[in-house]
């Protein structure tokens, strides 16, 4: 009997997977990106942080990390429409947000509602993790000091929010953007601007591209029962708001 149940389960899984596709794509930037700012200067306000970068390269902001061929890093891509009525299991693997060298790593990331977030301090200096939900958000504000090399107990967010801002009240240059979504279909672009969202059930969706300085932009995609669909998006210099330049 057990064998039969297992076989049916495996079969169902295969059927489900066989009806799921992958969204693959690339985000790029056209034009001249504003210059990044140096964080090394600001870090001098805390000798512990300055000491961590005394011999390395200058630490810069990463607002517009554009590859030679125009690929844009740190864009959060997620499905925003088309999944209504569907429920998803919480991801088992925790997301780790590290504070290393007085910088959040990664500073843009996604997480599922209810998924564990482990905030880590790898620096032997005081950081203060201040989670600041938006004005209409139902997520809780949180403010935790991390004076030593340590992990906070796992944190979960109960409501979707893009973005949920993290900042360190001790170090004014430290920001991170946590994007909380209800489902597991999201990705953050890499150095080449590429991203990949796997195991998306076949159907029509709206895909959203979020960048911390430029506006969200929806794109319609149709995911096939098998194989891949490509979804590209290009930001242009004109999309940068004046104060973001």
Residue 147 in the binding site for other proteins (CB under 8 A): yes
Q: Which of 126, 202, 219, 239 binds other proteins (CB under 8 A)?
A: 126
Output the CA angle 97-83-90, nearest 5 degrees.
40
Handedness of CA 165, 167, 169, 173 (dihedral sign): negative
Q: Judge whether 189 and 75 are in contact, CB under 8 Å.
A: yes
Cis peptide before 152 (omega within 30 of 0): no
Residue 151 in the binding site for other proteins (CB under 8 A): yes
Q: Which of 44, 90, 140, 215 binds other proteins (CB under 8 A)?
A: 140
Region binding other proteins by CB under 8 A among candidate stretches 49-57, 144-152, 202-210, 236-244:
144-152
152 vs 202, beta carbon nearer other proteins: 152
Residue 96 in the binding site for other proteins (CB under 8 A): no
Region binding other proteins by CB under 8 A among candidate stretches 32-40, 166-174, 185-193, 234-242:
166-174
CA–CA separation, 81 and 84 (whole Å): 7
91 vs 142, beta carbon nearer other proteins: 142
Q: Judge whether 22 and 205 are in contact, CB under 8 Å.
A: no
Q: Which of 3, 56, 85, 153 binds other proteins (CB under 8 A)?
A: 153
Q: Which of 152, 202, 219, 239 binds other proteins (CB under 8 A)?
A: 152
Which residues, 6+ apart, have CB-to-CB distance to 94 below 8 Å?
115, 116, 117, 118, 154
Residue 26: both structure tokens together: 């690339």
Binding site for other proteins (CB under 8 A): 126, 130, 132, 140-153, 167, 169, 172
């Amino acid at each position: 009997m057990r064998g039969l149940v297992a076989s049916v389960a495996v079969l169902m899984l295969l059927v489900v997977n066989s009806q799921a596709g992958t969204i693959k794509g690339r985000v790029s930037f056209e034009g001249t990106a504003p210059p990044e700012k140096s964080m090394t200067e600001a870090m001098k306000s805390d000798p512990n942080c300055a000491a961590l970068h005394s011999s390395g390269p200058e630490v810069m902001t990463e607002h517009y990390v554009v590859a030679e061929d125009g690929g844009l890093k740190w864009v959060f891509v997620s499905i925003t429409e088309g999944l209504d009525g569907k429920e998803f299991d919480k991801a088992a693997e925790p997301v780790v947000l590290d504070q290393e060298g007085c910088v959040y790593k990664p500073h843009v990331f996604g997480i599922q509602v209810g998924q564990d977030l482990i905030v880590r301090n790898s620096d032997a200096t005081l950081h203060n993790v201040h989670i600041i939900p938006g004005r209409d958000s139902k997520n809780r504000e949180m403010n935790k000091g991390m004076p030593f090399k340590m992990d906070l107990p796992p944190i979960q967010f109960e409501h979707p929010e893009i973005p949920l801002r993290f900042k360190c009240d001790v170090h004014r240059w430290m920001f991170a953007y946590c994007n909380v979504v209800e489902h597991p279909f999201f990705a953050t672009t890499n150095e080449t601007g590429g991203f990949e969202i796997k195991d998306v059930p076949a159907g029509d969706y709206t895909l959203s591209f979020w960048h911390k300085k430029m506006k969200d932009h929806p794109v319609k995609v149709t995911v096939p029962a098998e194989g891949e669909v490509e979804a590209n998006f290009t930001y242009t210099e004109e999309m940068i708001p004046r104060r973001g330049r």
